[in-house]
Amino acid sequence: MSDLTDLTIAESLSKLKSREISPVELTQAYVQKLNDNHKYNAFVTLTAEKALSDAEEAEKRYANNTNRLLEGIPLGIKDLFCTKGIKTTACSHILDNFIPQYESTVTQNLLDDGALFLGKLNMDEFAMGGSNETSYFGPVVNPWSKNTPLVAGGSSGGSAAAVAAKMCAAATATDTGGSIREPSAFCGVTGIKPTYGRCSRYGIVAFASSLDQAGPICKDVRDCALLLNSMAGYDPKDSTSSKREIPDFSLSLGKDIKGLKVGIPAEYRPDGLNPEIASYWDKAAQILKDCGAEIININLPHTKYALPAYYVIAPAEASSNLARYDGVRYGLRVDGNGLDEQYINTRTEGFGAEVKRRILIGTYVLSAGYYDAYYLKAQKVRRLIKNDFDNAFQKCDIILTPTSPIEPFAIGDTKMLENPINMYLNDVFTVSVNLAGLPAMSLPIGLSQNSLPLGMQLIGRAFDEDTIFKAAYHLERGANFVRM
Amino acid sequence: MAVDNETVRRIAFLARLKVEQEKLEDTQSEFNKILNWVEELGEVNTNNVEPLVSVNDEALSLRQDEITAGHISEEILKNAPAQEFGYFVVPKVVE
Amino acid sequence: MADFIIETEKGKWEIICGLEIHCQIISKSKIFSGASTEFGDDVNENVSFVDAGMPGMLPTLNQECVHQAIKTGLGLNAIINKYSEFSRKNYFYADLPQGYQITQFQYPIVGEGFIDIDLADGSTKRIRIERMHIEQDAGKSIHDIDPHKSFIDLNRAGVGLMEIVTKPDFRSPEEAGAFLRKLRSIVRYLGTCDGNMDEGSMRCDVNVSVRPFGSNEYRTRCEMKNVNSVKFVMQAIEVEAKRHVDVYENGGEICQETRQFDPVSLSTKVMRKKEFAHDYRYFPEPDLPPLILSDELINHIKDELIELPDAKKNRFVNQLGLTSYDAMVICENKEVAEFFEKASQGRDAKKVANWLMGDFFAMLKKKNLDINSSPVSPDNLGKLVDLITKDIISGKIAKDVFEIMSETSEDPEIIVEKNGWKQVTDTSAIETIVDSVIAANPDNVASYKAGKTNLLGWFVGQVIKQSQGKANPAIVNKLLREKL
């Protein structure tokens, strides 16, 4: 039999249930993979021993038939999720050695369903970045790299790389402007950002509260459905979490899509779009069409303004969310002469360059005299972007776009580093979805000429992940992408 | 709206961050690049457009007035860089 | 009402003053967390992870705080806004764990209203309320334990506050004092705040400016923060106004600044100048969707609203015949008004009011008791008034009876019975004494008959004296007139 880490969660569960494999064997296989692949720098904290002992508990549960939805499935957890008793840093120096005394709702849901945690995954500092290069613990290396180490994407680079390299069965991730979808595309794995409000944000270190949303990164579409069903749900501890029923997403898999209206937004095909990506986009549309879907041209006229609006709103919220890192109650403290100096020393040393850049921009756009011109304006544009989607969804049921305008680039790429805006532009296809609070999935469509994975994005109506799963299932089969 | 050095310094202090003197010019120019870029928003006609405050249209739920937390001072102080007698300790604050 | 005018050799000046009052909301748990609001518990014991601003923690709004705010708004005759929003007020302070305060800015829960205040000359004045919003309190910094360190206790962090802002309608210290007493009375009636200024559960910021008497201009104002008694507020207004007059008359200018009132020196001084002015960067709190109130809820609270001091006062004047002044004094305190209503049930309310405001209040003051621990119950005070009204005891004996009641809490009827103090109304018994007094004083009888009719009082006194005070003075009077 091939390596146990090749199995999807669905496959593993069926073998676990039939007692063909045991949770300890499965966990050991992943721990082995994990230890063989430290070069990817995907994990920042390991809890393998705990996972192995939890696997023994899981065995007992299978033995006495009290196994739960994800019993014995070894997962990786993005370091943005607070995990009780396990160091959680958001990959920032400022949260040095912070050990939460509480568990995030999403990880608690996974634990309650029997999942095991192998450790905490690398990410961009406070989830701010698109290449995982802002992590205090260094960049994640894309497992698809050949000679030059490539970025795994960000901010959930550790999650995507770990899943691609089979260092965990699946991973939790978060998405504020594309942080689940872009690394999924770069690493050839599947990730879904559900509708804003589906997953509780309680216990997830906040970046931009009105945009942040948790979701899974998995080996395939079915695993995403499984994991999202466990992660999602109303939580009274998060006032923005939705009370809407969570359907069984896996029931959508395999349903036919005859007559499904797939929207192709003209604004996502600018003149300079990478022709390889454009042709994969056409191929994806053709796959859906061949399954009976109807392809419809749509317009999302304010697309151009999504990035500027995002880079006002997200830093503004971040500047406020990150004010609590002041060296008083937890994390790094750098002494100073008096309290203000202590704040300044702590924050200046504790935050990395990109985080500081965003805090400064965010502080500026909220400051007296500039609020209306920047923040309020951006919130109004945000409304128009949401209206664009509302109008589009009058004509179509789902929207198909590429996930990223580029393929994975080299770590330390000078063009990206010399001007932060160049890096921000990589989010061009993903941020609108966060601004409108919609669900969207990225799944691999094929390899570029450089043998690097490329992803396609399916965007659904709010709270209609079902349609995404339905279409993704067919797209996945049609693309027939071969995992690493 | 071009930002000058003094503004950068003021914003940095508001955010309790230090921008080293030698980095002030770079920070200022980077700041202006980003602001120029986001000012593209000015092209959009937003007359009579309500700002989008909350993407989720569900009403705010209220919590029952019950005591469900507290008496966990040990956990609260667990990660404190400095504590004495159950208090968090900071350098003297001059009122 | 005569305005309070500051008159100098150079001219006449008028005070313009507005108040901002923070009232601590009475609720079991904090406004955004489930920790207790109990005062005086051990350090950092009433603190949740939310209150400590731990990473990933989110606020959840306490229903009771909302209801209390609606009640208070109704008590201020104010508009209840069915749409309100929470905002973040961003600033760094050691006892502000999140680095921002959750408050309401653009859309407060309560809009414009008013309070009518009663002034010493019997007039009333309407003070307009600008708005009222709800927000969280900060923690407490303790500076006097160590010369180099400050100590932070977060027990108070997150306790709900109502901030009431008045229009600049005050023209004298007296008006401000009357307003604070009235406001305190209203919130105590409603049970929304205990109104104790000395314990900090009601705190007052005072804004003062002056203008030449008769002009309509508004000049620069100064704010004095956290003035913590009615008396100090009145003093602060006066000394700050006089300072302004002094500065203007000496050709100076007033700068808008925050000052501190020192009740010992009766002066104000400018608080430490900040390197940069505050810039709170308010923006809508993304962790809490807008607060929407239904008409149903507002009407329900309105229906359940108890009778407020003004309504009660009017009823006491119109239905019970109390003077406006007596009614105001009795209604200021809810417990006093309730005591009065019980004591006056089915009796001459005016007589009960006289006793209450006379001997009864004097007794409480002497014994340093509040009305809830009075040794004299409302029932017994009522019975005492009955004994007088029914001519069972005289007013003079009643004072002795009250003296005993306030020591022993006994029923006045029993005291009178035990001491044999029942007034003698039996005409024949009194007649015997009258006869003997007439017989024993032939000279005075002669003088009386000769026209010195004012001797009647002397004869009455003699008879009552011989009856040991028990003879009914009316009967004595009547018999003496007949017999002399």
pLDDT score for B95: 57
User: Is residue B21 assigned to a domain?
Assistant: yes
Say if C61 is an interface residue toward chain B (CB within 8 Å): yes
Give the pLDDT of chain B (95 residues) as one tens digit per residue.
678 999 999 999 999 999 998 899 999 999 999 999 999 999 999 999 999 988 988 889 999 999 999 999 999 999 999 999 999 999 998 75
What mean pLDDT comes out for the span C125-136?
98
User: Is residue A293 assigned to a domain?
Assistant: no
Question: Please, which residues 351-390 of chain A have a Cβ atom closer than 8 Å to chain B?
Answer: 351, 356-357, 359-361, 363-365, 367, 370, 373-374, 376-384, 386
What mean pLDDT comes out for the span A183-193?
98
Whether cis (ω within 30° of 0) applies to the bond prior to A53 is no
pLDDT score for C397: 87
- What digits encode the pLDDT tens for the residues A208-221? 999 999 999 999 99
**Which residue from C94, C100, C289 is facing A239, i.e. has the nearest CB?**
C289
Test A366 with C283 for CB contact under 8 angstroms: yes
User: Is residue B22 assigned to a domain?
Assistant: yes
Say if B68 is an interface residue toward chain C (CB within 8 Å): yes
Query: A60 catalytic, yes or no?
Result: no
Best of A94, A102, A377, A423 to substitute, by most chain B Cβ atoms within 10 angstroms, is A377
| Chain C residues whose beta carbon lies within 8 Å of the beta carbon of residue A324 | 53, 55, 97-99
Residue A85 clears pLDDT 80, i.e. is over it: yes
Residue C258 clears pLDDT 50, i.e. is over it: yes
Test B79 with A333 for CB contact under 8 angstroms: no
**Through-space distance between the first and last CA atoms of chain A, rounded to whole angstroms:** 17
User: Is residue B14 assigned to a domain?
Assistant: yes
Residue A333 clears pLDDT 90, i.e. is over it: yes
- In angstroms, the CA A382 to CA A332 distance is 36
Question: Please, which residues 318-337 of chain A have a Cβ atom closer than 8 Å to chain B?
Answer: 319, 323, 326-333, 335-337
Test A364 with B40 for CB contact under 8 angstroms: no
| Chain B residues whose beta carbon lies within 8 Å of the beta carbon of residue A377 | 41-42, 44, 46
**Average pLDDT in chain C:** 92
**Which residue from B37, B76, B92 is facing A421, i.e. has the nearest CB?**
B37
**Which residue from B61, B69, B87 is facing C153, i.e. has the nearest CB?**
B87
Query: A78 catalytic, yes or no?
Result: yes
Q: How far is B54 from chain A (nearest CA, A)?
A: 7
Phi/psi of residue A216, nearest 5 degrees: -95, 155
pLDDT score for C275: 43
* CATH number of the structural domain spanning residue A189: 3.90.1300.10
pLDDT score for A44: 98
- What digits encode the pLDDT tens for the residues C437-447? 888 888 888 88
User: Is residue B56 assigned to a domain?
Assistant: no
Give me the DSSP letters along C414-425: HHHHHHT-PPB-
Query: A166 catalytic, yes or no?
Result: no
Test A363 with C281 for CB contact under 8 angstroms: yes
pTM of the model: 0.92
What mean pLDDT comes out for the span A401-419?
94
Least trusted range by pLDDT, from A240-249, A398-407, C150-159, C430-439: C430-439
Q: How far is C18 from chain A (nearest CA, A)?
A: 24
Phi/psi of residue C208, nearest 5 degrees: -130, 140
| Chain C residues whose beta carbon lies within 8 Å of the beta carbon of residue A330 | 54-55
Test C283 with A367 for CB contact under 8 angstroms: no
Say if A205 is an interface residue toward chain B (CB within 8 Å): no
Q: Which residue of B has its CA nearest to C32?
A: B63
- What digits encode the pLDDT tens for the residues A128-171? 999 999 999 999 999 999 999 999 999 999 999 999 999 999 99
Q: How far is B58 from chain C (nearest CA, A)?
A: 8
User: Is residue A198 assigned to a domain?
Assistant: yes
What mean pLDDT comes out for the span C392-405?
90
Q: Is C80 in a helix, a strand, or coil?
A: strand
Candidates A135, A156, A179, A241; catalytic one = A179
Say if C305 is an interface residue toward chain A (CB within 8 Å): no
Candidates A155, A200, A242, A442; catalytic one = A155
- Which residues are within 8 A (CB) of C366 and not within 5 positions of it... i.e. 6 or more apart? none
**Start-end ranges of CATH 1.10.10.410 in chain C?**
427-483
Measured from the Cβ of residue A285, the count of other Cβ atoms closer than 10 Å reads 17
Q: How far is C19 from chain A (nearest CA, A)?
A: 24
pLDDT score for C1: 47
Best of B10, B73, B85, B94 to substitute, by most chain C Cβ atoms within 10 angstroms, is B73
How many CA atoms within 13 Å lie on the side-chain side of A224? 34
- What digits encode the pLDDT tens for the residues C40-51? 899 999 999 999
User: Is residue A335 assigned to a domain?
Assistant: no
| Chain A residues whose beta carbon lies within 8 Å of the beta carbon of residue B2 | none
pLDDT score for C395: 84
Q: What is the CA radius of gyration of chain A?
A: 21
| More reliable by pLDDT, A449 or C274 | A449
What mean pLDDT comes out for the span C366-377?
94
Residue A390's alpha-carbon distances to A304, A433, C223, in angstroms, are 17, 12, 49
Percent of chain C at pLDDT above 70?
A: 98
- What digits encode the pLDDT tens for the residues A283-298? 999 999 999 999 999 9
Which domain range does residue B33 map to? 5-43
- For helices B5-14 and B24-38, give the axis angle rounded to 10 degrees: 90
Residue C483's alpha-carbon distances to A432, B51, C430, C432, C437, in angstroms, are 109, 96, 12, 12, 11
User: Is residue B50 assigned to a domain?
Assistant: no
Whether the Cβ atoms of residue A170 and residue A217 lie closer than 8 Å to each other: yes
Q: Which residue of C has its CA nearest to A90?
A: C55
Residue C77 clears pLDDT 60, i.e. is over it: yes
Q: Which residue of B has its CA nearest to A419?
A: B30
Size of interface B-C (CB pairs under 8 A): 128
DSSP B72: -
In the sheet that holds A190-193, the strands lie side by side as A43-46, A116-121, A74-78, A170-175, A213-218, A190-193, A440-447, A453-460, A398-402, A261-265, A294-298
User: Is residue A37 assigned to a domain?
Assistant: yes
Phi/psi of residue A49, nearest 5 degrees: -60, -45
Q: CA-based angle A462:A467:A471, to the nearest 5?
A: 135
> Which two structure tokens, joined as six digits, stand for A409?
């680039």
Of A361, A396, C260, A360, nearest to B13 (Cα)? A360
If one counts the domains in chain A, the total is 1
**Which residue from A82, A202, A323 is facing C99, i.e. has the nearest CB?**
A323
CATH of span C427-483: 1.10.10.410
**Average pLDDT in chain A:** 97
ipTM of the complex: 0.97
- In angstroms, the CA C466 to CA C469 distance is 7
pLDDT score for A1: 46
If one counts the domains in chain B, the total is 1
